[in-house]
Structure 1
Amino acid sequence: MLKELIELGKAIIISIIAAFLIMTFVFETVSVDGHSMDPTLQHKNRLIVEKVSYYFREPKPEDIVVIKYPGDPREKFIKRVVAVGGDKVRIEDGKLYVNNIAKEEPYILETMDSQIDDNFQNDVEIPKGTIFVMGDNRNNSMDSRYPDVGFVKLKMVVGRAAFRIFPFSSFGKIN
C-alpha cells in the first residue's frame, strides 16, 4: 500500500513538472478580452498560443501575437505585428504605411479615425529588438500608437496565436 502511494506521488509530481514545462516553453491557452482584434478574433474566443517558433525566429509582420502589456506585464494583449525593427511607420489619412508603402490590410474592421492618428508621432523608425503592433479594430485598440504600449521589446512577446479552440464553430488555424 505504501509503495503504491509513493508511486502515485511520483506520477503526480512528474505530471505537474511536465505541465509546467509545457506551459512555460511550448504553448498556453488565452482568452480574448475585448474587441481590439475584431473581426479576426472576437471577445471571449479561446486561443492556443504557441511559443516554440519564436525561439528560432523573430515575429514577422502579419503575425498575431500575445504580448505582455508594457504598462503592467501581468496583463496580456493580443495584437497583430505590423512592423519590425528597422521598419519605418507612418499613419496618414487613416492608412498605415510601412517603409513608405501603404499596407493592404483586408483584415481590419474599418479605416482608422483621424483623431487616433493624431496621438501617434509619424515617421518613426522601429528600434531593433522591438516590434510595432496594432489591433485589427484600429479605432478600439490600445496598441503601439500609444506611449504606454509603444515599441514592444521582443522579450515581452509571449507567443504566436496559432489556433482558435472556442467557440467550436470557429475552431481552427488563425490567419
Structure 2
Amino acid sequence: MKKRKVSFKQVFKEIISTVVLALIIALLIIKFIGSTTIVDGISMEPTLKTNDFILVNRIGFLLGDLEPGDIIQFHSPNNKKKDFIKRVIAVEGDTVEIKNNRVFVNGNELVENYTMTKGITGYKDEKHWEIGKDEVFVLGDNRDYSNDSRTFGPIKKDSIVGIAFLRIYPFKEIKKF
C-alpha cells in the first residue's frame, strides 16, 4: 500500500472549512432555537443572581403553552432594547389579585417556595388584573426589588424571547429549571 502524502495547505483548508461550518450552525441555533443571557440585577433572587449565565429556549413556548412557574426572558414593555427575566404567575384567562400583601391567582393564594420574602411587603393597595388573550402576568422572585407586571401590567406573548431552562454558570450552581 502506498502512503498518501497530505499537504499542510490541504489540512489547513479542511480545518478552516470545518470551523466556518461549525460557526454557521452555532449562529443559526442561537438565532432560531436557543440563546444565552447573563442575569443583571437582584429581581429574581434567590433563584437567579447577578452574573448567572443561563440558556433560553427560543422556540419551546411557541410549540406549547406557557405555564405558571416558567421563568421567561422578554422585551421590556418600556424599552424594547432591554430584556427582563421574570417568573410567569398567571396565563390567559386567569385573574391575579394582590390583597394584604399576598398574591392570589383565581382566588387561591400562591404557595411560593422560591420567593425572597413571603408575600409582597409594603404593598398597601389592593390590585386586580384580568389576563387577556395572548398575555401572561410575571413577577420577580425578589418581590420587593422587582419591576414587573405590578408596574406595567400583563405582557404580550409576542414580547417573549424564550423560556429559561438551564443555568450553566456559576459551574457549582448548574441547574435545570
The two structures have a TM-score, normalised by structure 2, of 0.85
Task: Spell out the pairing of 1:47-126 with structure 2 (5 A cutoff).
Answer: 47-110=54-117, 111-115=119-123, 118=125, 122-126=127-131
Shift of 1:155: 1.1
Q: Distance in 2 between matches of 1:58 and 1:155?
A: 13
Q: Distance in 1 between matches of 2:147 and 2:112?
A: 18
Partner of 1:26: 33
Q: Distance in 2 between matches of 1:152 and 1:7?
A: 48
Aligned-partner residue type, residue 142 of structure 2? N
Q: How many residues align?
A: 168
Once the two structures are aligned, what percentage of the paired residues are identical? 36
Secondary structure at the aligned position of 2:24 is classed as helix
Q: Distance in 2 between matches of 1:144 and 1:58?
A: 19
Shift of 1:52: 2.8
Partner of 2:137: 132
Partner of 2:161: 158
Q: Distance in 2 between matches of 1:68 and 1:8?
A: 39
Instruction: Provide the aligned C-alpha RMSD in A.
Output: 2.1
C-alpha contact (below 8 Å) 1:28/1:49 kept by paired residues: yes
C-alpha contact (below 8 Å) 1:129/1:153 kept by paired residues: yes
Aligned-partner residue type, residue 26 of structure 2? A
Q: Unaligned stretches of 5+ in structure 2?
A: 1-6
C-alpha contact (below 8 Å) 1:68/1:74 kept by paired residues: yes
Secondary structure at the aligned position of 1:146 is classed as helix
Q: Unaligned stretches of 5+ in structure 1?
A: none
Aligned-partner residue type, residue 43 of structure 2? S
Shift of 1:13: 5.1
Q: Distance in 1 between matches of 2:89 and 2:121?
A: 18
The two structures have a TM-score, normalised by structure 1, of 0.86
Shift of 1:158: 0.9
Q: Distance in 1 between matches of 2:160 and 2:65?
A: 10
Q: Distance in 1 between matches of 2:101 and 2:160?
A: 27
Q: Distance in 2 between matches of 1:40 and 1:9?
A: 41
Give per-residue Cα distances to partners, 1:49-97, cap 9 Å, x unaligned: 1123212112110001111111111111110000011101100111100
Segments of 4+ moved more than 4 angstroms: 3-13
Secondary structure at the aligned position of 1:23 is classed as helix
C-alpha contact (below 8 Å) 1:93/1:114 kept by paired residues: no
